[in-house]
Amino acid sequence: MKKSLLKQINLPKDLRLLNQEDLPHLAKELRDFIINIVATKEGHLGASLGVVELTIALHYVFNTPIDALIWDVGHQAYGHKILTGRKEIFDTNRQLNGISGFPKRSESAYDAFGVGHSSTSISAALGMAIASQLKGEDKHHIAVIGDASIASGMAFEGLNHAGVTNANLLVILNDNAIGIDPSVGALKQYLTNVKKGTEKQDNIFEALNFNYSGPIDGHDLPTLISELKRLKTIKGPKFLHIITTKGKGLRQAEENQVKYHAPGKFDAKTGELVTKNNIGQEAPKYQDVFGETIVELALKNKKIVGITPAMPTGSSLKYMMDTIPERAFDVGIAEQHAVTLAAGMATQGLIPFCNIYSTFLQRAYDQVIHDVALQKLPVVFCLDRAGLVGEDGATHHGVFDIAYLNCIPNLVIFAPSNAIALRQIMYTVQLGIDVPIAIRYPRGRGHIIDWKTPFEKIEIGKGICINKGEQIAVLSVGTVAFKIKNAIASLDKKFNVGQYDMQFIKPLDTSLLHDIFQHYHAIITVEDGTIIGGFGSSVLAFANTHNYKHNIITLGIDDQFVEHGTTDELNQLQHLDELSIKKEIENLFLTVNNGHV
Beta pairing, strands 211-217 & 238-243: parallel
Domain that holds residue 353: 286-440
Tell me the CATH number at 373.
3.40.50.970
Q: Are residues 422 and 527 in the same domain?
A: no
Helices (H), 116-220: 121-135, 153-162, 186-196, 204-207
Q: State the chain's mean pLDDT as an integer.
A: 95
Q: Catalytic residue, from 31, 104, 327, 363: name it.
A: 363
476-515 per-position pLDDT tens digit: 999 999 999 999 999 998 899 999 999 999 999 999 999 9
Asked if residue 324 is part of any domain, the answer here is: yes
pLDDT at 181 over 90: no
Asked if residue 104 is part of any domain, the answer here is: yes
Q: Catalytic residue, from 227, 335, 527, 584: name it.
A: 335
Q: Are residues 53 and 95 in the same domain?
A: yes
Q: Is 493 annotated as catalytic? A: no
SS3 label, residue 213: strand
Q: Are residues 522 and 408 in the same domain?
A: no
Q: Are residues 291 and 252 in the same domain?
A: no
- Report the distance separating Cα 25 and Cα 92, nearest Å: 25
pLDDT of residue 180: 77
What count of other Cβ atoms lies within 10 Å of the Cβ of residue 299? 12
Q: Is 246 annotated as catalytic? A: yes
Q: Are residues 291 and 419 in the same domain?
A: yes
Q: Are residues 428 and 511 in the same domain?
A: no
Asked if residue 434 is part of any domain, the answer here is: yes
Q: Is the pTM of this model over 0.85?
A: yes
Tell me the CATH number at 512.
3.40.50.920
How many domains, the chain? 3
Q: Are residues 239 and 301 in the same domain?
A: no
SS3 label, residue 138: coil
Asked if residue 450 is part of any domain, the answer here is: no
- Report the distance separating Cα 285 and Cα 427, nearest Å: 18
Burial class (CB in 10 A: 0-12, 13-18, 19+), 323: middle
Q: Which residues of 579-595 are buried (b: 16+ CB within 10 A; e: fewer)?
A: ebbbebbbebbeebeee
Q: Is 363 annotated as catalytic? A: yes
Helices (H), 109-260: 121-135, 153-162, 186-196, 204-207, 221-232, 251-255
Asked if residue 344 is part of any domain, the answer here is: yes
Q: Are residues 233 and 308 in the same domain?
A: no
Q: Are residues 95 and 240 in the same domain?
A: yes
Asked if residue 457 is part of any domain, the answer here is: no
* Average of per-residue pLDDT across 163-186: 90
Q: Are residues 377 and 492 in the same domain?
A: no
522-540 per-position pLDDT tens digit: 999 999 999 999 999 999 9
Q: Catalytic residue, from 81, 246, 248, 440: name it.
A: 246
Asked if residue 278 is part of any domain, the answer here is: no
Distances (CA, A) of 102 to 27, 80, 116, 231, 281: 21, 10, 6, 27, 35
Asked if residue 77 is part of any domain, the answer here is: yes
Q: Are residues 414 and 559 in the same domain?
A: no
Contact 49, 34 (CB under 8 A): yes
What count of other Cβ atoms lies within 10 Å of the Cβ of residue 208? 17
Q: Are residues 245 and 364 in the same domain?
A: no
220: Cβ contacts below 8 Å, ≥ 6 apart = 53
Beta pairing, strands 504-506 & 412-414: antiparallel
- Report the distance separating Cα 287 and Cα 422, nearest Å: 10
pLDDT at 279 over 60: no
